[in-house]
A and B are shown apart, each in its own frame.
Chain A
């Protein structure tokens, strides 16, 4: 989905919180204006070149900005030049809200050393193996050092599971879209009659920057440590994590081709984390709608087919046979007490129309798209119910299911609400952009027709969610600021009314912060899944 107005505001707010106003200003400029050259960023932000450069380095280090080169077709007199532009990575900025979720996934699947590695990568954006080792050792007690081998071994595990990958190329060259490309894509879309989301520039840049599959998850560790690692480490004890940032990140004045690849930089593979969260959301949806059995079978299917998934927004999984599903089911502790028949009946349940799992020739495949769509509809319907009432909820569901224009009287008949009242409610929904209205004049009579346009509405809802997320975050900060004294009070002096106030603040924080996490789940549902 696109970045909406409030999406940008929210992203800028996150960057301001994490890196301060200066960096946020540069980031906002890129988010609002699209990719820009260093020169233009300086011009628009009215900051000094040095300030912009440093801000860009921070943003690149934290995977929030990507540099790329484009053929400059402007100058006709000389040979085509390559110009470097910077693009803000909107999705990656939002992921900063989800680091705790990412870490939770790691701690479920791996041991603490792995959690430490990923935590370091999330905290510092990108690290070399040496920095990872340094970090692992700095958190250990004296004399309890973590060996190079152990770190390498754990990093290997994380790379194998695709949670960690090589950083993208510093400055990939992007072919400017030729004129032949555009119509070709259009023709393709028409003939296949499928709605193909146009590839955004952000996606194209990331595609170009991504190392080849083999290199991206290559387990070949760089040699800097294997040979003289331990020595080197001792030689420069004052070198800390983060110091390398400026050298590692892409510097527009350095020809990146010559410096890259000498030291391998690692970072967290957000794509894999989001895929995992998508899977979890699907499992929870099925559990809520069906039962634990169906959820266990679905999660086994996800496990068995995950290696075949190429992108996050896969529409459906590869087909699996009952036997292979059963084999996977019994691998898990919960699945072990399921019989073959139980699994079979869960599959029947999952594939009964409208199906979450489609069956073709005795092979089962997960219909991700359908599961996600159901969850999205449910989220929007629940907003309609709370904001506009039960009758509006019924009307909305009717129109949403119909997927076409319906006339007021017809709506009134179907949901058993008086015509006048129906018109009033529909009008209110329309005013708040939840419905589309069309007037049809036949002779002297005017008919009002209504419709839910999911594409437009989903974007509108997402924008409101970003707005709400921003508000929640601002309110949390405000409450903490208001009650600064209480927060800073030593524990032993929290007595009487002070203690009460402290407890109240604690409850407020728990409520707001858990709401933030849940709201972020909903944002992912609409934005990332």
Chain B
């Protein structure tokens, strides 16, 4: 059962990564000109996978909490606070980095890929294997801030 979950986790992670990859490739299609860009994008998509395997290798113990109402109730508030804080911190730091370096995230799509694939992979892994609501809050916050940054805050 647990092994099945593990396999599901990695299949889902890979699937989501592939979908995001295809989407982002369409998004930045004009900027992919040489083989070098393709290699960079593939590398940034693959970046989280070895790390996730390693983390899983270290934290082999399965501490999936019971998904009861009590557990949810207990972690509702801290998870929401963490979500809001990480959204605020994420948006602010991305704005700050853009302002300091004077460059746009769109010009460096590799970094967007990197943040995106790392967060999504750990999100899926956390969701399927550990179901830690606080971590869920932080990761959702990072994804949300990335999305907000790309959609609203860039001219």
Partners in one complex: no
Interface residues of chain B, those whose CB is within 8 Å of chain A, are none
